[in-house]
Amino acid sequence: MKKYVILFWCIASFATAQTPITKWSGILNAGGRKVELILQLQPDSNATYKSTWEIPAQKVKGLTSTKTELKGNDLAIEIKWIAATFNGTLSADGKKIEGIWGQSGYNFPLVLEPYVEGKVIPVVVKPQTPKAPFPYESTDFVYQGIKTKLTYGATLTYPKEASKKYPLIVLITGSGAQDRDETIMEHKPFAVLADFLTKNGYAVMRVDDRGVAKSNGVFQASTSADFALDVEEHLNYAKKLPQIDSTKMGLLGHSEGGLIAPMVASRNKSIAFVILMAGPGVDITDLMAAQNEAVLKSVGVSSEATQAYIPLYKQLMTTINEATSKSEATNRATELVKNWVATTDKDIVKKTTNISSDADISTFVNPFVESLSSKWWKYFVSYRPAVSLEQLTCPVLAINGSKDIQVTADANLQGIQAALKKAKNKRFDIHKFDGLNHLFQKCKTCDVAEYGDLETTIEPEVLEYIKYWLLLRA
Residue 437's nearest CA partner among 446, 428, 445, 429 is 446
* CATH architecture of the domain formed by 23-114: Beta Barrel (2.40)
Sheet holding 151-158, edge to edge: 137-144, 151-158, 203-207, 166-172, 244-254, 271-277, 396-401, 428-433
Residue 169's nearest CA partner among 276, 269, 263, 256 is 276
Tens of pLDDT, residue by residue, the chain (474 residues): 443 333 222 222 233 333 356 888 888 876 555 678 888 887 776 667 888 877 776 666 777 787 888 787 888 887 766 667 777 888 888 788 888 877 655 667 888 888 887 666 566 789 999 999 999 999 999 999 999 999 999 999 999 987 789 999 999 999 888 999 999 888 999 999 999 999 999 999 999 999 999 999 998 889 999 999 999 999 999 999 999 999 999 999 999 999 999 999 999 999 999 999 999 999 999 998 898 888 888 778 899 999 999 999 999 989 998 899 989 999 999 999 999 999 999 999 988 888 888 888 887 888 778 777 788 888 998 899 999 999 999 999 999 999 999 999 999 999 999 999 999 999 999 999 999 999 999 999 888 778 888 999 999 999 999 999 999 986
- Return the SS3 of 98: strand
Residue 265's nearest CA partner among 396, 370, 358, 409 is 396
- Biggest alpha carbon–alpha carbon distance for the chain: 73
Contact criterion met (CB below 8 Å) for 29 and 43:
no
Residue 317's nearest CA partner among 285, 290, 291 is 285
Distance CA 373, CA 214 (A): 28
Q: What is the CATH number of domain 137-283+384-473?
A: 3.40.50.1820
Task: Break the chain into its structural domains and give their ranges.
Answer: 23-114, 137-283+384-473, 284-380
The Cβ of residue 106 has, within 10 Å, a number of other Cβ atoms equal to: 22
Q: What is the pTM of this model?
A: 0.80
The type of residue at 314 is K
Distance CA 139, CA 211 (A): 21
